[in-house]
Amino acid sequence: MTRYISWNVNGLRAAEKKGFSDSVLPLNADCICIQETKLQGGQIDLQLPGYESYWSYAEKKGYSGTAIFTRREPVSVRYNLGIPEHDTEGRAVTLEFDDHFLVCVYTPNAQDGLRRLDYRMAWEDAFRDYLLKLDTQKSVIACGDMNVAHEEIDLKNPKTNIGNPGFSYEERGKFTELLEAGFTDSFRWLYPERENAYSWWSYRAAARERNVGWRIDYFIVSNRLREKIKEAFILPEIMGSDHCPIGLDLTE
């Protein structure tokens, strides 16, 4: 079995002070993907015993950023999408292994008033194309904060959030396009009707304590990997960020 963990840490230095390493090491993951590191190179010296790490940094300080810690040595490493307009914010790291690609992604937020929606739509198309090209070579596992609740079951209050960032028809439509292109939402594949399963909560109004949340963090896999999905899970009991870790177990 191979275990993957993904977590938007909302600032890795802050998360480490809140016990990031102590939280993730007992999960015994082969690969740990993190988003929103909010780091530049050299700003943290974080070593997880037994893991090598690969980092993608945003040009803007204290913003975005992704990383993968892995126990398994990759065949190759790629940073971002290879498209200049999308490669300044450190939003993706891809590790190639013998039989698959692992992509850690932090999808751009459409922001208040959907003011960045046009850019978000361009990113979605570019990212889907990127995954499809990888998928012609090997199976793909893509994970991270994808900044969208796909269906009404994926957030506590869908009716009052229609059209808001992360639950606009446009963003949800792009997620549907991604799945229809040949990928599977691993959690919904196993648990199509599970409610109240969320990965992000606002810091306001005791949302986490009341479980008023959104599921916006995902493990997406090539359809041909479906039958290898042993478990897909969410770990809301692990604190340290406004997101919680999510995981995927695949059979060999």
Token pair in block for residue 168? 């606009």
- Decide if 145 is catalytic: yes
Instruction: Point out the catalytic residue in the list 145, 185, 217, 249.
Output: 145
Token pair in block for residue 252? 């060999």
- Decide if 99 is catalytic: no
User: Count of H helices and E strands in the chain?
Assistant: 6, 14
3-state DSSP assignment of residue 105: strand
For the beta sheet containing 217-222, the strands, ordered from the edge strand earlier in sequence to the opposite edge, are 76-79, 92-96, 100-106, 139-145, 217-222, 183-185
From CA 142, how far away is CA 220, in angstroms rounded?
5
Strand pairing category for 246-250 and 200-201: unpaired
Instruction: Point out the catalytic residue in the list 4, 51, 57, 106.
Output: 106
Catalytic site positions: 106, 145
